Amino acid sequence: MLPESIEDGGIVTLRLLLPSRDIGAIIGRKGATINSIREESEAKIKISSSDQDTGTYYREIILSGTIGQTVAASYLIASRLEENSSEQGEDVRLEILFPNSITGAVIGTKGETIKELRTKTNTQILISHEVLFGSTDRSICVSGASTDIRECVRYLAAILHENPAKGNHVPFRVNSHIQMQRAGRIIHQGAGNPPRRSMSSGAFTKGAATQSSTDTMTVQKELIGCVIGKNGIKIRQIRDLSQAQIRISSPGDDPSRTITISGTPDAVSTAKYLINYQINNELKKSP
């Protein structure tokens, strides 16, 4: 059930995921928009740094303060996205990171809480079926008008405040795998070496992002499901994080499926690493 009353003074941290293409509208010229949002909401706001070399698809926005302050900040962000929309009346989409241990409180028994939340706030709410890469977070995507999103986020913030994360919470970081690749620190047993930049690809020179390459991987039939994920969520995440084009061959009589990966050398190597990461995790579950 949803909270009967919400104390706006409770302290929370809300973490939003925004496509990089939208972040300019939130920051504004010389930071004018984000500074205005900070002043009006009185929330503390931190935006993850961009990664020009790898083309990070998402940016993380961390909102800290009281429930009232963080909800106000998220509403102002949603309103700015609404104003910046190319189509009049188009729904705003706000993606929120939630610890996996708390999502049960959002869903409720037999889905009663999320149904009530959808009805009460007139929003569409989708929760990722699985945790995001390298974390114990799940994604809650809220769509609707900015005013409706404000009410929905208010309830979500209250649930977050009343239900501290359980166990060891590993937060999702949009560019953590990229940063560790650069430092050569990602060595996951059985997952293969992290992708490295090819000196011949010109990855460190301006304009190298336009160069393209194609590679293929062969994956056993029984393992392809862990790469695709339920309703295709994993393969979509891999495409988003790597910015590579990925095609999987249709099932047939062969004992394996072929994955074709195209894009910049960095995008291809990142996609291969993430696919191997998924396969290795699946193999570790086998007796």
Same domain, 155 and 183: no
pLDDT, tens digit (0-9, with 9 covering 90-100), for 86-143? 666 678 889 999 999 999 999 999 899 999 999 999 999 988 877 887 788 988 989 9
Domain range spanning residue 231?
Answer: 176-285
Which of 119, 138, 162 terminates a domain? The answer is: 162
Distance CA 240, CA 179 (A): 17
Q: Are strands 124-127 and 44-47 parallel, antiparallel or unpaired?
A: unpaired
Same domain, 208 and 75: no
184 versus 258: the higher-pLDDT residue is: 258
Same domain, 128 and 200: no
Is position 228 within any domain? yes
Residue 279 Rama label (left phi>0; alpha psi -120 to 50; beta):
alpha
Which of 105, 135, 162 terminates a domain? The answer is: 162
The one-character DSSP state at 195 is P
pLDDT, tens digit (0-9, with 9 covering 90-100), for 256-271? 999 999 988 878 888 8
Is position 3 within any domain? no
pLDDT band at residue 154 under the 50/70/90 scheme: very high
Query: Which stretch of DSSP H or E encloses residue 74?
Result: helix 67-84
Is position 171 within any domain? no
Same domain, 228 and 157: no
Same domain, 143 and 222: no
- Average pLDDT taken over every residue of the chain: 81
pLDDT band at residue 179 under the 50/70/90 scheme: very low
Q: Residue 131 CB: number of other CB atoms within 10 A?
A: 16
Per-residue pLDDT, averaged over 279-283, amounts to: 80
Is position 123 within any domain? yes
| DSSP codes joined into one string, 219-243 | EEGGGHHHHH-GGGHHHHHHHHHH-
pLDDT of 193 strictly over 50: no
Same domain, 119 and 17: yes
Which of 98, 128, 162 terminates a domain? The answer is: 162
Domain count, the chain: 2
| DSSP codes joined into one string, 23-52 | HHHHH-GGGHHHHHHHHHH--EEEEPPP-T
Identify residue 178 by its one-letter amino acid code: I
Specify the pLDDT at position 11.
94
pTM over cut 0.75: no
Specify the pLDDT at position 53.
39
pLDDT band at residue 46 under the 50/70/90 scheme: very high
Burial (CB < 10 A; 0-12, 13-18, 19+), residue 20, is: middle
Specify the pLDDT at position 187.
30
Is position 1 within any domain? no
Same domain, 75 and 116: yes
Same domain, 32 and 100: yes
Same domain, 218 and 131: no
